[in-house]
Structure formats: structure tokens, C-alpha cells
Amino acid sequence: MTTTQNKIALVTGGSRGLGKEMALELAKRGQDVIITYYSKKEEAEQVAKEIEALGRKAAVLSLNTGKVESFDEFVQSVSATLKSKFSTDHFDYLVNNAGSGYVIPSFADTTEAQFDELMNVHFKGVFFLTQKLLPFLNDGGGIVNVSSGLTRTTFAGSGAYGSMKSAIETLTRYLAFELGGRGIRANIVAPGIVPTDFSGGRLRNNPNLQEHIKSITALKRLAQPDDIAGVVAFLCSDDSKWVTAQRIEASGGLHL
């Protein structure tokens, strides 16, 4: 009797926040998941246990997405894990979610060190990690790059971060164009502001800011991580098989 290989997604930054919810939602919809973490190993392992409790396979790998020189070693780990844990040498969906942010008052206050770190994590890292993983991505699979509502709206101090995400949106269209011959789709999910620990929990810990965000959001509430995860899971499925080179903003109608 022939068994069908389960679909496998690789989610960077899957130990907490949006990445955790993405990984769990993908598992709920029947996919096996590889998640990466930077510093929260125990949290990543807990996410893997939750995935396995849903009846899916899971693996946890360490990755610094801002350190391109570490990618060859990471790719070796991916290859070994695919063989040992999933009995295959390819996966189906890459979700470039890992990220970091700063609370910066203004453009004038942005330092070169902050700019470089944001570039390395949010643009250069995504560019070359995707390049390194292409040989392991199944034809007919997909890439989801996580951008930001800040490529459309503006908030003081977010100029560098928003610019990196704009670069990723341009790159995604090129990926869609160049990889389309392999049936690989590439799309953007652009979340609005979500009250997680991103940027030091800036929104989560500020009730006044929360009320302001709700007041300028069409749906009049704050986002929850699963609001974003469902969109990512849709793009990592055959339901979106004719969707590529698209930017889907999941912001509840922020700042319309």
C-alpha cells in the first residue's frame, strides 16, 4: 500500500508570537512543521509538543536569520532533519516570519547599527536563506514572506523597518516570477499591529496605544495572532493554488 507524504512547512521564528500561531494553525490543518528559534529553545520545544499533540510531526532547529554566514550549517541541519524525522529530502512551504524590532522615536534617532540589524534580519537574511533552501523546496510548493502594514501606513520611527519590509515585498514579486516555472508560489502577508512581545511588547503593554489603534481600525478591535495565522495557512495550501505575487494585508482595516 502506497503512503502519501504529508506536506511539510518550515516556519522561521516559530517559538512564540505570530510564528507560534502560524505553526500551530498549519498543524491543525494537517501539515508537519519545522520551526526555528533564536534564543527561546524551551519555548520552541513546547510548541513542537503542541504540534505533536495535534497528531503531526514537528522538529525544532536553531537559526539566527541575521547571520548569513551561519546558513550553510543551518541548511545541513534542515537536510538531516528532513531525512531523520520526516523520511524525505524536501519540504513544501517556507514561511519567512522571524524578525526583530526596535522602539525608535524618529528617523533622526535611527542608528547605523539598528539599520544594519534590521536589514540583516528582515531583508538580507530572508533573501539568502530563501536562496539556500530553494533546492529543498518541492515543485508546486510555496513561499510566504511576512511583511508589515508599515509598508502602507506610516508611524514615526518605523522608517528603517518599513523600508526593509518594502524591499521584501518587491523581492516576493521577483520570486513569484522566477520560480513560477516550478509551480512555486510566492506571496506576502502584511500584518497590522498585534499585541505580542515584538518591539519589547510596545503595544501589549500600552493601554493608551491600544485604544488609539482600535480607534483607527475599521473592525474596532486589536488583532490576535490567529487572525494572521489563518491567512498564512491559506497561502500554504492548495486553496491558494492560483494565488501568487500578492500582498494580503491582515490588519482589520488599519488606518484606511
Catalytic residue list? 161
Torsion from C-alpha of 190, 229, 145, 34, nearest 10 degrees: 160
Q: What are phi and psi for residue 214, nearest 5 degrees?
A: -60, -35
Cell of 231: 491567512
In total, the chain counts a number of residues equal to 256
Cα(184)–Cα(134) distance, integer angstroms: 10
Cα(225)–Cα(223) distance, integer angstroms: 7
Cell of 215: 480607534
For residue 213, give every residue at least 6 positions away whose Cβ sits within 8 Å of its Cβ, in sequence order, or none: 192, 193, 203, 222, 254
For residue 245, give every residue at least 6 positions away whose Cβ sits within 8 Å of its Cβ, in sequence order, or none: 172, 173, 176, 177, 186, 187
Cell of 228: 494572521
Closest CA to 15 of 73, 71, 60: 60
